[in-house]
Chain A
């Protein structure tokens, strides 16, 4: 079982590093949402592999919390961006939201597009 643990954690670690690379360089906010979702799934798989290999059930509630958090996080960020889109359509007082450039993090550049 030790060999299985090493192989599984190596695969999960390589996948997590690649997902973190996309999370860092992802040009838009939605790329970061998708990669955060995949990263949380990878974390849940890692916890489940730990539980299975060492026959340890103390981390299973954490698994449930991570699965809930992935859904709530991605849906709330998607609705947040949709709300910004509706606000940008709505009137002249709303700010248009520019997509994130490669060097900026998150949605911090929302004010730099100016008002329409």
Chain B
């Protein structure tokens, strides 16, 4: 093994370890936002480390630029999908509000958090009213 192989091996093992941490976090964390926090680690840093190792290892072969393209594409698309999933999770009340320290989308002060729907602020309460806990069924 040359020195480049050693560096590539370290990058590959570190990226794979981040995938393992994503699995552990997905199993152990309590709600959707925490699980997204765990699952985003291999999406950015893990993919970057693995692609770095693969590029070091495959230098000189024809289509190595495709690995760089995959890394750039992950960097661009991971924030977009995370933004959409977390926004829908907040609006569907899949967020454990008792675990939040700062709720910037809710109201300020100690009143009940406002319904995050500016179109129908007083709208029908049954349509979007599952419980705060992710495991709870709606009380209907």
Chain A residues in 8 Å Cβ range of B8: 52
**Pick the contact of B22 from A8, A42, A53 — CB < 8 Å?**
A42
Complex contact B94–A41 (CB within 8 A): no
Chain A residue at minimal CB-CB distance from B65: A60
- A28/B39 contact (C-beta < 8 A), A8-B13, A71-B77 known: no
**Pick the contact of A11 from B19, B80, B81 — CB < 8 Å?**
B19
For the complex formed, measure the closest distance between the CB of A2 and the CB atoms of chain B, giving whole angstroms: 11
- A42/B19 contact (C-beta < 8 A), A79-B84, A99-B130, A116-B127 known: yes
Return 13 A-B CB contacts under 8 Å, by A number: A12-B20, A18-B20, A19-B23, A30-B85, A41-B46, A44-B70, A49-B12, A49-B53, A52-B54, A64-B73, A67-B77, A68-B73, A85-B88
Complex contact B54–A98 (CB within 8 A): no
Q: Output the residue of B16, B43, B87 with the most chain A CB within 10 A.
A: B16
Chain A residues in 8 Å Cβ range of B134: 27-28, 31, 99
Question: How many angstroms from the CA of A15 to the CA of B77 in the assembled complex?
Answer: 22
Chain B residues in 8 Å Cβ range of A108: none
Question: How many angstroms from the CA of A57 to the CA of B65 in the assembled complex?
Answer: 11
Chain A residues in 8 Å Cβ range of B26: 18-19, 22, 34-35, 38
Complex contact B13–A4 (CB within 8 A): yes
Q: Which 5 A-B pairs have the closest CB atoms?
A: A18-B23, A15-B23, A52-B54, A11-B16, A71-B77
Q: Which residues of A contact B (CB under 8 A)?
A: 1, 4, 7-9, 11-12, 14-19, 21-22, 27-28, 30-31, 33-35, 37-38, 41-42, 44-45, 48-49, 51-53, 55, 57, 60-61, 63-64, 67-68, 70-71, 74-75, 78-79, 81-82, 85, 88-89, 94, 96, 98-99, 101-102, 113-114, 116
Chain B residues in 8 Å Cβ range of A4: 9, 12-13
**Pick the contact of A89 from B15, B32, B70, B128 — CB < 8 Å?**
B128
For the complex formed, measure the closest distance between the CB of A51 and the CB atoms of chain B, giving whole angstroms: 6
B91 on the A face (CB < 8 A):
yes
For the complex formed, measure the closest distance between the CB of B122 and the CB atoms of chain A, giving whole angstroms: 12
Question: How many angstroms from the CA of A17 to the CA of B126 in the assembled complex?
Answer: 37
**Pick the contact of B23 from A16, A85, A116 — CB < 8 Å?**
A16
Question: How many angstroms from the CA of A55 to the CA of B134 in the assembled complex?
Answer: 45
Question: How many angstroms from the CA of A34 to the CA of B81 in the assembled complex?
Answer: 9
Q: Output the residue of A21, A37, A52, A57 with the most chain B CB within 10 A.
A: A52
